[in-house]
Structure 1
Amino acid sequence: AGSWGSLKVEKFLYADDVAKEEEEKAARREERKAERKQAKLEFEILREEQKKQAKKEDQVRRKAPKPAEHVRTEGEGVPLPVWSFEEINFGPAANEILCSRFVRPSPIQCYAWPSIMKGKDVIGLADTGSGKTMAYVLPGLIHLKAQRPPNPGDGPIMLLLAPTRELVLQIATETDRFKDALQVRVGLAYGGKDGGADRVKQGDVLSQGVDVVAATPGRLIDFVEASICKL
């Protein structure tokens, strides 16, 4: 008697199964194709960003101060300097005033502005006429505008101290250039030859409420003790 051989069927596919399997293969091919396309796109974006960063760094190097304008910085995490008013972007109103008076920031402004705008403490040493006053006044005004409106009776948000009447007036001159555009109220507190008359006038302004006070220490203490100025 003969014997029948055994037949083992691993998988039997119907036409629908074959079509479905082909569809799944095609879908996987499309998925891999999309992944490669996305990876290529991300690579191109990264390469473009690297080009932009390299171009920006090159521009910084090209615009770096000349040896006569050398600036030395100390401290940790000192931000890169800015070389134009557009880079720091104090806003349209402030930038318009700056561009109408200057071609570009002075060296101390280039370095001080980014640090002050990032909330860092800054000590700046520079010659007379180098733009030191604007290096700290303008960032202070921008910070001031970002605060909530003061309540009646609140003291000034920004205090600028100077040792002499002349320096207070100099600070006031620079601050006044922006007070209308930025809508800030500025008050003064200093002594002088007409100390009595000046004191009354200054006290009246401070009593009405101001956002900024430029003062000498002696007159400021006088006003604080007399409850004319609240700090």
Structure 2
Amino acid sequence: MTHEPVAAEAATPLLSRRDALLAGGATITLATAPAAALGQPMPAPTGADAQAAAAPVLMEVSMEVNGTARHLRLDTRTTLLDALREHLQLTGSKKGCDHGQCGACTVIADGHRINSCLSLALMHEGSRITTIEGLGTPDRLHPMQAAFIRHDGYQCGYCTPGQICSAVAVLDEIRAGVPSHVSADLEAAPAPTNMEMRERMSGNICRCGAYSNIAEAMAELAEHGA
């Protein structure tokens, strides 16, 4: 009996499990990638859609600033700092880092110190805001302002408004019994020690390095009251 030779089947390359997963991932990525990522221009909005995308969303906000009622209509993205500086012309509060890391923008909101660059103005509907202009004036200085002058607690002066607002609020915190990270006893009233005040003021940066003078000004008021 004659047998015909069987032709050998062509060798088929085998994919490893790793290669299969990589190929599948690449396919999914290409299928779901936005057109812009693939080099194709995204269609631009037109007509009413374009106008809606360009127009800011405005809202009303009312607050008391330095004892005066203020009513503003603001872009919802406006920070409290920009509302004070650009809309109310209260330029004492400074824009330093604009990231809440230097304290130059510190104001007092409802009795508590905050970084106004990190807070949206709309969040302060009905709030009582005090800026450096509301603490004192050149002819009627706040005791903390006067103490800063006596102890030379400033040099270039850029950080000074935020330093003073923080210093006033810090002494109020200590008097109210609010503990800090260095308070020896969290249940006892904290004492206005040098370490206690320095810890609480650590969020206010003075690039001129007047820290010891600032601490001395605060210590004077902590001892004699303000």
Fold shared, TM-score > 0.5 on shorter chain: no
Q: TM-score, normalised by structure 2?
A: 0.27
Largest Rg, 1 or 2: 1
Bigger strand fraction: 2
Where relative contact order (Cα < 8 A, 6+ residues apart) is larger, the structure is: 2
TM-score for both structures, normalised by structure 1: 0.27
More helix by share: 1
